[in-house]
Amino acid sequence: MVVNILAMGVPLSVPILLASIGEAVSERAGVLNICIEGYMLMGSIAAYLVAYYVGNIYLAVVIAILASIAVALLHGYGTINLGCSQLLSGIGINILVAGIAVVLYREMIFKYATIPPKVVMFENINIPALSDIPVVGPILFRQNPLFYLGVVLSVLLWYFIKYTYLGLMIRAVGEDPLTVDTSGFSPVIARYMGLIIGSATAGLGGAYLVLGYLGWFAPGITGGKGFIALAIVIAANWNPIVCLLVSYLFGAIDAIQLRFQVGGYEMIAPFLMAVPYAFTIVILVLRRKVFVPKALAKPYVREEE
């Protein structure tokens, strides 16, 4: 049973995994996306609509990512170019996308079929030899391809920000946009890079919810996962690979809580669900001075004489 729970933890962790690794990069660049929820929701509805009307699962993923990026560009324009508050913009976008996604859903699907039709999904894949290993096998090697994509991405993104030039620029602009500007690299571009990466993975996470987990779209499908991603990023110290581990932790707790619901111990479920958030607060208290990117959420406006 334990193995089952641990195995169940993986699919539950995928959306927050995907969203958090991108957000880690975005926040390193100084862009706080309170609206991850909105990105994910946009990704979900876009993926669903494309999967339903076109049937091509890969196209659905691509469109989902593009849709999230489109939302992010709105957030980005307001905050990076115009210097508006990243918090207020993020909250506004969350509300807006919550509305738009449901409107789209109701207009384009729900009118015609009250029970949302199921769409093509990514089926779990079975990695041949490894999946037969007793305990670890079912947990790690019989999972959804998007999970493996997420793992790969987390390593790639970690490498990207740590060892490449663009990654360095992203880290630098999140600490001191002025120095980046003086050295000739546009801090605006650096921030947009972070933003786009963050929204792309969030959109991918939203797409997963539909195409890899549920099989259909429902309003509220994201259920706060975007905010959990924010917590994960903090707990993981803005490191994409640690995000992988922390998101699994959150996923496992979710799995445990689900198990309790069936077994007659449902009462414990809400407390379990609250644990990750309380945990994040504890981390915030302990880590209060360490490593928050210095320019996070601060608009950078170039001084013209």
Of the pair 129, 165, the CB lying nearest other proteins is at 165
Minimum distance between the CB of residue 210 and other proteins, rounded to whole angstroms? 18
Of the pair 61, 101, the CB lying nearest other proteins is at 101
Q: What span, in angstroms and rounded, lies between the C-alpha atoms of 190 and 173?
A: 7
Of the pair 2, 114, the CB lying nearest other proteins is at 114
Nearest CA to 242 among 128, 135, 158, 152?
158
Query: Tokens for 46?
Result: 């876009």
Q: What span, in angstroms and rounded, lies between the C-alpha atoms of 124 and 97?
A: 30
Minimum distance between the CB of residue 238 and other proteins, rounded to whole angstroms? 10
Q: Where does this chain bind other proteins (CB under 8 A)?
A: 34, 74, 77-78, 82-85, 87-89, 91-103, 106-107, 110, 163-165, 168-169, 171-172, 175-176, 179-180, 182-185, 219, 224, 227-228, 230-231, 234, 266-267, 270-271, 273-274, 277-278, 280-281, 284-285, 288-289, 291-294, 297, 304-305
Cα maximum dimension of the chain: 68
Side chain identity, residue 176: D
Q: Residues with Cβ < 8 Å from 152, sequence gap 6 or more?
A: none
Of the pair 174, 212, the CB lying nearest other proteins is at 174
Residue 230 and residue 23 in contact, taking contact as beta carbons nearer than 8 Å: yes
Minimum distance between the CB of residue 254 and other proteins, rounded to whole angstroms? 12
In which residue are the tokens 């999230």 written? 68
Q: What span, in angstroms and rounded, lies between the C-alpha atoms of 217 and 41?
A: 10
Tell the burial category of 101 from Cβ atoms under 10 Å away from its Cβ (0-12, 13-18, 19+): buried
Angle at 49 between CA 151 and CA 78, to 5 degrees: 70
Of the pair 69, 172, the CB lying nearest other proteins is at 172
Minimum distance between the CB of residue 133 and other proteins, rounded to whole angstroms? 34
Of the pair 215, 219, the CB lying nearest other proteins is at 219
Minimum distance between the CB of residue 112 and other proteins, rounded to whole angstroms? 12
Minimum distance between the CB of residue 58 and other proteins, rounded to whole angstroms? 27
Minimum distance between the CB of residue 156 and other proteins, rounded to whole angstroms? 15
Query: Tokens for 127?
Result: 């990695």
Q: What span, in angstroms and rounded, lies between the C-alpha atoms of 23 and 36?
A: 8
Of the pair 121, 181, the CB lying nearest other proteins is at 181
Of the pair 143, 257, the CB lying nearest other proteins is at 257
How many H-runs (helices) and E-runs (strands) does the chain carry? 12, 0
Q: What span, in angstroms and rounded, lies between the C-alpha atoms of 221 and 124?
A: 20
Minimum distance between the CB of residue 128 and other proteins, rounded to whole angstroms? 33
- Cα distances from 54 to residues 48, 49, 67, 190, in angstroms, run 10, 8, 16, 35
